[in-house]
Amino acid sequence: MRFAFAALLALVFPWLTAQNASAHGLGIEARLQDSTVHIQVYYDDNSPVSNGKLHLLDAANLLLLEGTTNAQGLFSFPSPPVGKYRVEVHVDDGHFTKTTIAIPPPSSSDASSENAMVSDGLSRADRTGARKWRMALIGLLILALGTMALKWFAKKRQQTNSISQP
């Protein structure tokens, strides 16, 4: 009985205490093309983030650049020198995200004109496409298997307790 109450409390407690929860995440994709960094900021439902406040910081956390995304969630700026930088985006609805971009050295093949992704993490297509739903399905499967395992252990424990009592 105590186990059932604890499980119910674990399920209900987050809903009783939640104050501000967002229904979707925020993503950043940065690409380098022709010595220009092109930033796309988007929600995980693939809609653009307009008027997102963007900050570019160097390794010493010094602010190098700030700007605002347009209606399509885009912001572009000239490529900074070779190195790693942090891009932060704040949105008026309370969302925040950040990523690291790595500006590579110029190469003889002129890779900067190839529209190369320079941000960490998943691309926009991977984050908003079919992979998102596969990951959600895997998460639900893990929860279902965990629940089944807990029920099995509870049943075994109950059987062990009933056998040990005369």
pLDDT of the chain, 166 residues: tens digit per residue? 666 666 666 666 666 665 545 457 899 999 999 899 999 999 988 899 999 999 999 999 999 999 999 999 999 999 999 999 999 999 998 899 999 999 998 874 544 457 889 999 888 887 777 666 777 788 888 998 989 989 988 888 888 777 766 5
β 74-78/36-43 pair status: antiparallel
Say what the pLDDT of residue 111 is: 47
Q: Is the Cβ–Cβ distance between 60 and 22 less than 8 Å?
A: no
With a CB cutoff of 8 Å and minimum separation 6, the contacts of 135 are none
Contact 49, 91 (CB under 8 A): yes
d(CA 31, CA 33): 6
Q: Phi and psi dihedrals of 69, rounded to 5?
A: -70, 150
Enter the tokens of residue 72: 């399509």
